[in-house]
Amino acid sequence: MSQSDITKYLKQTHDRVFEHNRVWAEEQRSKDPDFFAKLSAGQTPEYLWIGCSDSRIPAEQITGLGPGEAFIHRNIANLVANTDLNVMSVIEYAVRHLQVKHIVVCGHYGCGGVKAAMTPKDLGLLNPWLRNIRDVYRLHEKELDGIKDEQARYNRLVELSVVEQCRNVIKTASVQQSYAKNQFPIVHGWVFGFEDGLLKDLKVDHEAMLHSIQKIYNLTEG
């Protein structure tokens, strides 16, 4: 592409977003004249969604949730690291202030971050981030090494990583204290599949996981 073609393309892709926004806003007003007044009044989402940054997984669209129904946080490979002040702040705010009832950690099959973590290669700045996934592999090394098919092993690591991130969510003081007082939020682990567009519930047992971690990570005393 020539320089003029690149400039034209960049302008078109920029302007397209604003055109779509205008159409969307008009559609909302036509369906409900009070839509934006309600939206301006505040948010009371039922869900905190912790998902992957992958552009192919828009949380609201694949779940049918609308504006105001889910508080969204996304990062590479949907990780919940206790050293990441971003995700820790999101959990704190969602639980203590928004009082969400469900926290969903949603991964996806075909995750590039998980694939990269399985690759014995120096990935520069990504190394400390992907180490979280490599640590999941280390924790479940026997099971994963026993899976001979590479794709099946890859998919299973995606699932195991989601479960471990759920465990990390439950380790937080805000989740433990809120659950002890209110019996919510409940933590869930899901995986999205590109091949069929469906979510798979990994059936994370919130109560059992909470009890198992509290021998060491009990933070219920505020």
Catalytic residues: 52, 54, 56, 108, 111
Is the distance from CB of 84 to CB of 165 less than 8 angstroms?
A: no
Say whether 107 sits in a helix, a strand or coil: strand
- Which tokens go with 105? 């950690």
Which residue is it, tokens 């659950």? 179
DSSP 123: -
Helix (H) or strand (E) holding 114: helix 112-117
Sheet with 70-75: list strands edge to edge: 70-75, 47-52, 102-108, 186-192, 199-201
